């Protein structure tokens, strides 16, 4: 794989991971998560655990690291959703 | 790669993709997306476009298909967010 292709993959992983930061901050600031779907974050967190298991099985450090961060952010949003309900 | 490992990867991809369906339905039903972060869905959609480009470059059908579906769902949520603001 060429370097530019890997760079595009890294930009992709970085963007879809850090995208959850402004969502977490918004829920924290508004002290409300009414419009956030509980089912979305339950299913998404389950999927992230599966990605993490997959990353460990194929021994892919980028997959493991990206999904640890995304899982932590998704669980934090889920915790605030449950707290503000 | 063994079949069980691929199955875990497919369950992971299916879960993190379809997770956006209940979020889209919730925003549509509530006719509100106040708690949804515009920056999250802008950054996430950009990341999905990058994943799609990456999938095309590495010629990975699963990466292409999963990210077309996720991009469509994220753009639909983004459109409703802009509509209900």
CATH number, residue B71: 1.20.1280.290
Total domains in chain A come to 1
Average pLDDT over residues A37-59: 95
Does residue A2 register a pLDDT over 90?
A: no
Report the 10 Å Cβ neighbour count for A17: 21
Domain interval for residue B20 = 3-84
Residue A81: per-residue pLDDT:
96
- pLDDT band of residue A63 (cuts 50, 70, 90) is confident
Which residue on chain B is closest to A51 by alpha carbon?
Answer: B12
Average pLDDT over residues A12-22: 96
3-state helix, strand, coil in chain B (%, to 5): 85, 0, 15
Residue A85: per-residue pLDDT:
82
Average pLDDT over residues A54-78: 93
Residues of A whose CB is below 8 A from B40: 19-23, 26
Dihedral sign (CA B21, B26, B32, B33): negative
The position carrying tokens 């707290």 is A83
Does residue B13 register a pLDDT over 80?
A: yes
Residues of B whose CB is below 8 A from A82: none
Residue A1: per-residue pLDDT:
57
Dihedral sign (CA A52, A76, A84, B44): negative
CA pair distance A12, A17, nearest whole angstrom: 9
At A80 the three-state DSSP class reads helix
What pTM value is reported for the model?
A: 0.92
- pLDDT band of residue A51 (cuts 50, 70, 90) is very high
Average pLDDT over residues A45-68: 93
Does residue B19 register a pLDDT over 90?
A: yes
Residue B1: per-residue pLDDT:
57
The string of pLDDT tens digits covering residues B37-77 is 999 999 999 999 999 999 999 988 888 999 999 999 999 99
CB-based contact B8 A54, cutoff 8 Å: yes
Q: Closest Cα to residue B51, out of B38, B36, B65?
A: B65
Q: Tokens in use for A82? A: 């449950």
Percent of chain A residues past pLDDT 70, beyond the cut: 99
Q: How far is B3 from chain A (nearest CA, A)?
A: 12
């Amino acid at each position: 794989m060429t370097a530019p292709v890997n760079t595009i993959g890294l930009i992709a992983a970085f963007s879809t991971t850090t995208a959850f930061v402004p969502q977490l901050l918004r829920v924290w600031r508004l002290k409300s998560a009414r419009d956030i779907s509980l089912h979305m974050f339950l299913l998404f967190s389950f999927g992230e655990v599966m990605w993490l298991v997959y990353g460990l099985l194929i021994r892919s450090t980028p997959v493991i690291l990206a999904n640890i961060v995304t899982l932590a952010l998704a669980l934090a949003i889920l915790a605030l959703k449950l707290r503000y309900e």
